[in-house]
């Protein structure tokens, strides 16, 4: 599998709605970060579909290096965007 593109070196704050499904971009190619827009087609990547457990503000990863996808875990610290 190829490595994801670093879309940004900072997370995006998103207001999640309990019970709503989201498609998180895992490839870094989407123009609608942090969400999938289908730009992964033809790659080894696919979106991470998740349902929000509760209504809350969450920080979603844009560097695509997190170990807690789709949530930011600070992995972007020290990364340089391609």
pLDDT at site 2: 83
pLDDT for position 78: 79
* pLDDT tens-digit readout, 33-80: 999 999 999 999 999 999 999 999 999 999 999 999 999 999 999 787
Q: Where are the domains of the chain?
A: 1-75
Q: What pLDDT is stored for residue 79 in this prediction? A: 80
- The DSSP line for 23-77 is EE-SSS--TTTTB--STTTTSS---EEEE-SSSEEEEE-SSS--SBTTB--STTT
- In terms of pLDDT, which residue wins out, 46 or 81? 46
Better-scored residue on pLDDT, 12 or 2: 12
Asked whether the predicted pLDDT for residue 82 surpasses 70, the reply is no
């Amino acid at each position: 599998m190829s490595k994801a593109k670093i879309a940004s070196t900072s997370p995006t704050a998103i207001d999640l709605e309990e019970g709503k499904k989201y498609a998180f971009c895992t490839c870094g190619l989407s123009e609608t970060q942090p969400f999938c827009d289908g730009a992964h087609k033809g790659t080894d990547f696919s979106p991470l579909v998740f349902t929000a457990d509760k209504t809350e503000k969450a920080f979603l990863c844009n560097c695509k290096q997190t170990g807690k996808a789709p949530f930011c875990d600070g992995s972007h610290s020290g990364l340089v965007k391609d």
